[in-house]
């Protein structure tokens, strides 16, 4: 039986149906207009340069509501370490953190930042990349890699981390040590310059490599030694401080060039907030972690830093890499205070 006032009910029903349809269509319009912003990194979830992406996403969701679908993939689960720039060029990825080593493969001017003992400390690093040197070099990255750098981040100062205890005073003491390095010739050269036998391995395989003994050691900043749990399978940290390392928050030009001025400003602001979060936490960690590792039973030693610095710098200056460094760049970096 129909209720007493069928025309009213019909009207009400059709109103509801219309509202539902409007709601559905505005949701699908929203889904269509939300830009996909995929982020891929090999970082483990507990590391600061993984957590910083949540800072980035939260800021984007707050300042540009409904405009971007930010998807964060950690542990190299979307693209393997080093494959990100190619994925960005193919339109399969929008954002990542790129290392100077990955950039140097395509922009040889960058190889100076893969050399040990060039950048003095985190403050020097930030001055170099947030000043005219950074500006000039980031233009080349955009031209040659189609990636816009939004912010440099401090990845930490790389230290030697060995499976067994061993006296390490000078590079000669590392002769024959199978030192894991990421798999590119620029990285392997750094291992060689330190006096070791470099062995290429992806970041995700380092823990097992240390546990099983296929490698004798690895190098990474202290916060990463902790977050990736390398301290569980190693017995010594030697504070070589051989590379004050940087990563760059980069966005594909495919996405960047299609954005409005407001969106660009918000993305940059979010990247800078993420960078500050990473930098502050990482620097605080670096000062505190030595006692943590000692408490875990690791020996923490300091080598003859002059001997390491001299050997590594001389090895680089005599190498094919130094020939690609733009004239005067080393002097400009040294003169940046
Ligand atoms: C590593 O593989 O040792 C390295 O530290 C190299 C960096 O450039 C960067 O890729 C980093 O791994 C990852 O982000 C994991 O922390």
Nearest CA to ligand 1 atom 9: 99
Quick: pLDDT tens for 175-200: 999 999 999 999 999 999 999 999 99
The parts of the chain modelled with pLDDT lower than 70 are: 1-32
DSSP bridge partners of 52:
none
Whole-number Å distance between alpha carbons of 217 and 237 = 10
CATH 3.40.190.170 fits 34-335, yes or no: yes
- Check residue 33 and give its pLDDT: 84
Measure the CA–CA gap between 268 and 56, rounded to whole angstroms: 10
User: d(Cα 183, Cα 301) in Å, to the nearest integer?
Assistant: 27
Phi first, then psi: give them for residue 184, nearest 5 degrees: -135, 160
d(CA 41, CA 85): 11
Whether 59 lines ligand 1, by a CB cut-off of 6 Å, is: no
- Residue 3: its pLDDT value, please? 40
Q: For ligand 1, say whether the CB of 179 is within 6 Å of any of its atoms.
A: no
- The Cα–Cα gap between 87 and 83 comes to 6
**Which residue from 258, 259, 247 is spatially nearest to 96, judged by alpha carbons?**
247
Q: How far is the CA of 246 from the centre of ligand 1 (A)?
A: 10
């Amino acid at each position: 039986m129909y209720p007493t006032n069928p025309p009213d009910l019909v009207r009400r029903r059709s109103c509801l149906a219309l509202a539902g349809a409007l709601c559905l269509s505005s949701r699908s319009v929203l889904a269509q207009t939300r830009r996909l912003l995929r982020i891929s990194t090999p970082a483990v979830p507990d590391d600061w340069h993984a957590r910083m992406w949540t800072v980035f996403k939260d800021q984007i969701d707050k300042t540009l509501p409904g405009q971007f679908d930010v998807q964060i993939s950690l542990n190299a689960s979307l693209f393997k370490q080093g494959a990100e720039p190619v994925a960005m060029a193919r339109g399969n990825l929008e954002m990542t953190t790129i290392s100077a080593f990955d950039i140097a493969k395509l922009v040889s001017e960058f190889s100076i930042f893969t050399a040990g003992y060039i950048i003095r400390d985190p403050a020097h690093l930030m001055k170099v990349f947030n000043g005219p040197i950074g500006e000039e070099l980031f233009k080349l990255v955009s031209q040659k890699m189609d990636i816009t750098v939004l912010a440099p981040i401090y990845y930490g100062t790389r230290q030697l981390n060995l499976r067994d205890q061993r006296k390490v005073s000078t590079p000669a003491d590392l002769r024959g040590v199978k030192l894991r390095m990421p798999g590119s010739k620029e990285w392997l050269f750094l291992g060689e310059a330190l006096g070791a036998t470099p062995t290429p391995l992806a970041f995700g395989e380092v823990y097992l490599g240390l546990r099983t003994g296929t490698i004798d050691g690895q190098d990474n900043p202290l916060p990463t030694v902790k977050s990736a749990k390398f301290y569980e399978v190693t017995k010594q940290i030697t504070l070589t401080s051989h590379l004050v390392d940087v990563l760059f928050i980069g966005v594909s030009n495919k996405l960047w060039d299609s954005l409005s001025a407001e969106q660009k400003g918000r993305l940059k602001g979010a990247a800078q907030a993420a960078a500050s979060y990473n930098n502050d936490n990482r620097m605080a960690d670096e000062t505190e972690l030595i006692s943590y590792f000692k408490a875990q039973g690791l020996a923490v030693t300091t080598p003859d830093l002059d001997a390491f610095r001299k050997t590594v710098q001389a090895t680089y200056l005599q190498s094919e890499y130094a020939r690609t460094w733009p004239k005067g760049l080393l002097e400009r970096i040294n003169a940046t205070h």
